């Protein structure tokens, strides 16, 4: 049970970081 929650947390943080990087890339594109 704890393992499932840990995997879920890791997946959420990974997807969050991926979205963050995409947003930064778009911001840079718009500013330039």
- Report the distance separating Cα 5 and Cα 12, nearest Å: 10
pLDDT of residue 10: 92
Mean pLDDT over the full length of the chain: 80
- In order, the DSSP letters of 16-31 are HHHHHHHHHHHHHHHH
Count the domains in the chain. 1
- Report the distance separating Cα 29 and Cα 17, nearest Å: 18
pLDDT above 70 for 28 = no
pTM (2 d.p.): 0.51
- Report the distance separating Cα 1 and Cα 14, nearest Å: 20
pLDDT above 80 for 12 = yes
Q: Averaged over 10-16, what is the pLDDT? A: 92
pLDDT of residue 13: 94
| Domain limits for position 28 | 1-32
């Amino acid at each position: 049970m704890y393992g499932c929650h840990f995997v879920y947390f890791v997946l959420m943080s990974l997807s969050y970081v991926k979205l963050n990087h995409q947003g930064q890339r778009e911001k840079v594109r718009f500013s330039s």
